Structure 1
């Protein structure tokens, strides 16, 4: 690992020469790769201590689920997410994951949690070429925030775009769509599990994933996302 780090540092001047560091939002020149300029940082709504953490309550889960988000969803965070997910700027995963990692507390058990991404249906994965939540989970694992299990969940039913749908309509669309990967069920039982996604919107997708994880015997559940819509958390507490 030390050799890899040394080589990475040695290659940095060449990388910066070929790809000069630029702010991913406005294109301004930067001193280093992987960040934002000062003006764009000021547009990101990063909350104060505990400000973007909340407890979601779904009666069928039998527990309140902590939701940890790096930012509130606003125009700047939306642009980053769209560039990352639809603009195929997958290098943004490192920046977004660093911000998420800063919000994640240590697992209550003291053990490393499983980082399970929200799954994509195979056709959407084929069309997009990557699962943005899986990339974030992988980056969080590199940062020492848990163990990535990128195929712990399966989206077995193709669902329509959930954008513009209310919570009830999203829940109907997701009914029966997300299940545990039967080959990974034994890895989930008894573990602290963090569900990873890019944006927490209505909570419908998270609920479908969390219900499957709870049924598989996860010891505790939480959600980690880059952005959260301010009024999105069901039964919000905390």
Structure 2
């Protein structure tokens, strides 16, 4: 009874707020009606390699989007939970730049539903790393927060320092596909506990996928560390709606 009373008092002082706009909602870590409508959750037929939504109906056969036909991917398969627009974009930016750690747990739940078919019993979940100088400025790696919450949902092992980013690459905003790949070539390597990837399937986790250059660099590093296969998971995908 005391616990229930305390919980009621806390809710009166700190009522649940929408993750997207901060408005009042019925439960913690939820979205209000308008923000839910403005969130483009990815479902139905998707590209088997990057998770972008495609027109048509899923029939159990893997299909590829135009980007993945144009640029062969080095990972086996990939999924994303949201399109990077409207509320989805605000959530990613809040998690990435706004100290919104509270977004990681519900976001991991959305992403878990998308990636569950890719998971094997011995899968290791690995976040895409940040360069140490960027990590010092930001104080946290949003991909590591997401990966930790996702691994908990999937009952998988997470190794946050399996990969490292010793090269301080410039911000990729505004760069085309070729420049993005050239900038990130060799920028990610095996990290302090990279040996834990040897002989294991790996699920790489990042907040957003645009061209796939970051995932390509991380995939190469995971393979160099001995991973048997690599799949990718992005909270949001920059793509057109089908």
Contact 1:196–1:223 (Cα < 8 Å) also in 2: yes
1:84 aligns with 2:84: no
Looking at secondary structure, tell me which structure has more strand per residue: 1
Q: 2:110 aligns with which of 90, 96, 99?
A: 99
Residue in 1 aligned with 2:174?
Answer: 164
1:117 aligns with 2:117: no
Instruction: Find the aligned partners of 2:9 and 2:202 in 1 and give their Cα distance.
Output: 40
Residue in 2 aligned with 1:22?
Answer: 17
Task: State the shift of 1:42 in Å.
Answer: 1.1
Residue in 1 aligned with 2:141?
Answer: 131
Q: 1:41 to 1:9 in 2, by over 3 A?
A: farther
- Could you say what secondary structure the match of 1:134 adopts? helix
Task: State the shift of 1:14 in Å.
Answer: 3.9
1:229 aligns with 2:238: yes
Q: 2:78 aligns with which of 67, 71, 74?
A: 67
Aligned length: 221
Q: 1:8 to 1:72 in 2, by over 3 A?
A: farther
1:48 aligns with 2:43: yes
Task: State the shift of 1:16 in Å.
Answer: 2.1
Contact 1:93–1:139 (Cα < 8 Å) also in 2: yes
Residue in 2 aligned with 1:203?
Answer: 212
Contact 2:95–2:142 (Cα < 8 Å) also in 1: yes
Residue in 2 aligned with 1:31?
Answer: 26
Q: 1:166 to 1:12 in 2, by over 3 A?
A: farther
Farther off after superposition, 12-21 or 154-163 = 12-21
Contact 2:163–2:194 (Cα < 8 Å) also in 1: no
Instruction: Find the aligned partners of 1:13 and 1:193 in 2 and give their Cα distance.
Output: 42
Instruction: Find the aligned partners of 1:107 and 1:60 in 2 and give their Cα distance.
Output: 16
RMSD of aligned residue pairs (Cα, Å): 2.3
Long gaps (5+) in structure 1: 1-6, 232-238
Which TM-score applies when normalising by structure 1? 0.84
Q: Deviations over 1:194-226 (max 9, x none)?
A: 000000111001000001111222111110111
Q: Deviations over 1:1-25 (max 9, x none)?
A: xxxxxx9978643432332111122
Q: 1:123 to 1:105 in 2, by over 3 A?
A: same
Instruction: Find the aligned partners of 2:76 and 2:38 in 1 and give their Cα distance.
Output: 28
